Chain A
Amino acid sequence: MSHEYDPSDLALMQWHDGELTEAPDLSDAELEAKYEAMSMVGVVLRQSIEDDERGAGLADAVMAQLDAPSDVVELPQVGTKPSNDNARTIFGLAGLAAAAAAGLFFWGQSTPQEPAVASAPAAIEAPAEPTSADAPRPPEAHPADLPNLTAQVDEDEDAEPAVEVASVDFGRHQGSVFYVASNTAATTAVVWVNDEDEL
């Protein structure tokens, strides 16, 4: 089939939609039938859209929201708090821990130091005290155990002590040097060797 003027399907649709100023040649029966079919399809499609109410008012609602005077759009409540939202609890506990640490730090800094002279033990031990469960050990010398010692040392601060241990070579053992109050105004020195422990 050949035509002197054979407009394309696009030209037929443009003509149907009124987009062409020059009418195509529809003298051919086949082209005329095609044009009428396009028109019929258009009518059916428009009718079908008009009969469908699912999208009715959607565009108007969107446009009404856009034209609303307030910029804040209140969103509906989506749901309750998520189950993994522990941020407030974690930050709260971290804050409490930091406050407690700071308090302990400043409390420790403000604790007064014990005077060195008053708490000085009478025993000078060297080297470290060994441990033995069965053997009796020389007890720790505390100021409370030696009530006269500190007073005597204070009174005779300038006086030379009656007995003084200048140095001790304990060899392969460990030991301690004690100063014990005696019945005189002086103190007695005790060099105590721990027999059960050899270095």
Chain B
Amino acid sequence: MRRFLPLGLLAFMLGAPAASAQVDLPGHEVPVQLDGQKQAVAKIVVLHGTNDGKGIDPAIGDLPQLKQPPFSAYDSYKLLDRGSVKLDPSGKMSLPDGGSLGLEVQAADGDRYTVVASITKKGGKKFLPGATVSAKQGEYFFLAGQKYKNGILVLGIRLVDK
């Protein structure tokens, strides 16, 4: 029984830093200077995830990730919008709930971009203040979880050369 006390203390010590809303994850060195000659375009798909049993909308295209966790928490995905945002170095896109997606390229190194994504709700309230993502050109990353019409919004984002 005495083993549980030090284990509990250890778990508390390890879990305490996670209580912070700001999470720094191990990443590669982010170039400080942005290549001025290189601009990018963000290709964005806006999906609506629900559990209404309709499956995945064929209009979405080839996104097998939607069948895997954590997306598999919802059995249906419908394409709501598809758009392109020119990033020089920042840009915005309106979302179906009246909010907006903000993207800002912080660095470009070869075929790799470092971008800060944020979501602002209608009325200006920050839903996601900022997620710093380093992605290769053409590779999707997702922002998900925002409630919308008995489901959630899923934003698939990939950056390509202008």
Contact = CB atoms under 8 A, between A and B. Distances in A.
Interface of A: 105, 108, 123-128, 135-141, 145-146, 160, 162-178, 180-184, 186, 188-196, 199
B38 interface: no
Contacts of A178: 69-70
Contact of B25 (A128, A166, A180): A166
A168 B69 contact: no
Interface string B65-76: 100111111100
B3 A108 contact: yes
A100 B62 CA distance: 58
Given A163-B136, A181-B68, A127 B21 contact: yes
A109 to B, nearest CB: 9
Given A170-B129, A175-B145, 4 more contacts: A127-B19, A139-B69, A145-B68, A164-B133
Contacts of B70: 123, 138-139, 141, 176, 178, 180, 190, 192
A192 to B, nearest CB: 5
Nearest to B66: A180
A173 B139 CA distance: 26
A128 B68 contact: no
B51 A136 contact: yes
Given A126-B18, A128-B15, A167-B132, A177 B25 contact: yes
A160 B112 CA distance: 10
A124 B135 contact: no
B25 A183 contact: no
A193 B145 contact: yes
B21 A180 contact: no
A170 B22 CA distance: 6
A192 B126 CA distance: 15
B140 A169 contact: no
A176 B144 CA distance: 10
Contact of A139 (B73, B117, B129, B130): B73
Contact of A169 (B62, B130, B135, B146): B130
B98 interface: no
B143 A193 contact: yes
Nearest to A175: B145
A171 B20 contact: no
Contacts of B145: 138, 175, 192-195
Nearest to A186: B139
B82 interface: no
A180 B23 contact: no
Given A162-B135, A163-B139, A191-B144, A171 B72 contact: no
